[in-house]
Structure 1
Amino acid sequence: MTPYTAVAPPADLAGDVVLGWTTRLGGGTHRLVPDGCVDVLWLDNGSVLVCGPETAAWTFALPPGTEAVGVRFRPGRAATALGLDVPGARDRRVRLEDVFGSRVQRHVAEQVAEAGGARDRLRVLQEHVRGWSAEAPEADRVGVAVAGLLERDLSRPVAELARETALSERQLHRRCTAVFGYGPATLRRILRLQRFLRLARRPGAPADLAYLACAAGYTDQPHLSRDCRALAGVSPRRLLADR
């Protein structure tokens, strides 16, 4: 199993950032499942990439032993913190130089590479994120509101989200696409699958998929299976086994 370490963000970044992470990849193919987030990551081959929001799982393979560190933005926060064209980055890995220019790309890559270890590399990357966030405008109020509403209740229909934000459904879809990369219905599906994964991977969690599906907000187990295959490309049991 690939060693992956999640690190809570510094307090001043917690509004924009879910976590930082470090890893050294094992061999084979790795699967990443949509989570509503955008990551900025450094690879020890000198690359610095912005991983746009995903609508389906993607797989990749890198040489065994490749080191990586990353910062994961909360859903909707990368649009302002990075000035990112989020819809344009959907289902893509974008070079940092295409966001901030080649000088920034080189500066970030060199400074992270010069740090002494994984945690130090992460701290350097977080410092760059801190600078970008400090210069950014305020996060879109609609994106903040929708993310908060869905965090509290994933059963909310789009019409209710529109009423809560004082927008029409069409306006809501446009505003959500600008900050999340897709509309509120897609975000809700992705966050619901992530809730299922969190519930299923807790220590002592029951193995009953029907129970877990209900607890995560699905109407039934077939609903979970359909969404899981659509978003992750595999069945729920296969996804849980493929850690």
Structure 2
Amino acid sequence: MYRERTTPLVPGAVLWSRAPEPATAEQRVLPDGCTDLIWCDGLLVAGPDSRAHLATTPPGVAFDAIRLPPGAGAAVFGLPAAELRDQRLPLASLWDGATVRSLTDRLADAPDRGAVLAAVARARLDAAAGSAPGAGEDADSLRRLVLAHARRGTPVAETARAAGISERQLHRRCLALFGYGAKHLARVLRLQRALDLVAAGVPTAEAAARSGYADQPHLAREVRQLAGVPLSRLR
């Protein structure tokens, strides 16, 4: 069984868990711009996916995780998000061994592993914001602006003007924050919006129009490119 819940410690984050499966399970993980810190008999980082990722889980493995909102992973893990894009890495390859061992020990006996992961993420975000005067605030302001514009489908040039930087600077900073540029982020968020509408029972043509696609074939092409399968398969 898969479950999700929010946490007040990290706005926009989702704590999720999955009970062990009796047999090997395969899941198509769709791109959402997020970065996950996952506990599954160890600590794993799932970077922001640019396209669908096929995950295979052996039987008997349980998961507890925090899914960080788009743009937050770089501050939590301490390196540009582009270095995590489309990656699945042990946390020990990113953080020092003592820190990872301490967190592993805390999680092993924790009654609520999600709460522990949220507290760790909050502490890392606070530390990143305080590392240089104004640096954390500036990055978070840009993150919020780019996300708002990407969700509206605002052209990249207009987003750059609103941020007061060049398009090239915007692209470089988006790579560090989100793992890819503002245009690809907008594609990922638009796809998520359309799929949510389709899952809620909205007809495909209407979902395409409401999500900002030119037409239903445009949505179909984007689904194939980003999800790797036709929309009928995702249903």
Same structural fold, with TM-score higher than 0.5 when normalized by the shorter chain: yes
Q: What's the CA shift for 1:8?
A: 0.9
Partner of 1:217: 212
Match of 2:63 among 65, 68, 78: 68
Does residue 38 (structure 1) correspond to residue 30 (structure 2)? The answer is no
Q: How many residues align?
A: 225
Match of 2:233 among 201, 218, 238: 238
Does residue 169 (structure 1) correspond to residue 161 (structure 2)? The answer is no
Q: Which runs of 5+ in 1 are unaligned?
A: none
Partner of 1:191: 189
C-alpha separation in 2, matches of 1:84 and 1:72: 17
Runs of 4+ aligned structure 1 residues displaced above 6 Å come to none
C-alpha separation in 2, matches of 1:163 and 1:130: 31
Alignment-mate amino acid for residue 146 of structure 1: V
Q: Which runs of 5+ in 2 are unaligned?
A: 130-135
Question: How do 1:50-65 residues align onto structure 2 when only pairs under 5 Å count?
Answer: 50-65=45-60
Checking the alignment, whether the CA contact within 8 Å between 2:75 and 2:124 is kept in structure 1 is no
C-alpha separation in 2, matches of 1:101 and 1:145: 32
C-alpha separation in 2, matches of 1:130 and 1:103: 19
C-alpha separation in 1, matches of 2:125 and 2:163: 25
Question: What's the secondary structure of 1:108's corresponding residue?
Answer: helix
Deviations 1:16-37 (A, max 9, x none): x421111124332111010001
C-alpha separation in 2, matches of 1:131 and 1:170: 32
Q: What's the CA shift for 1:186?
A: 0.4
Question: What's the secondary structure of 2:144's corresponding residue?
Answer: helix
Question: How do 1:16-165 residues align onto structure 2 when only pairs under 5 Å count?
Answer: 17-26=12-21, 27-43=24-40, 45=41, 47-116=42-111, 120-137=112-129, 138=136, 140=139, 141-151=141-151, 153-154=152-153, 156-165=154-163
Question: What's the secondary structure of 1:49's corresponding residue?
Answer: strand
C-alpha separation in 2, matches of 1:55 and 1:224: 17
Partner of 1:6: 4
Q: What's the CA shift for 1:86?
A: 1.0
For normalisation by structure 1, the TM-score amounts to 0.87
Percent identity, aligned pairs only, is 37
Partner of 1:180: 178
Alignment-mate amino acid for residue 198 of structure 2: A
Checking the alignment, whether the CA contact within 8 Å between 1:40 and 1:50 is kept in structure 2 is yes
Deviations 1:118-140 (A, max 9, x none): xx121122222222222122251
Alignment-mate amino acid for residue 113 of structure 2: R
Alignment-mate amino acid for residue 148 of structure 1: A
C-alpha separation in 1, matches of 2:69 and 2:79: 14
Checking the alignment, whether the CA contact within 8 Å between 1:8 and 1:20 is kept in structure 2 is yes
Alignment-mate amino acid for residue 121 of structure 1: R
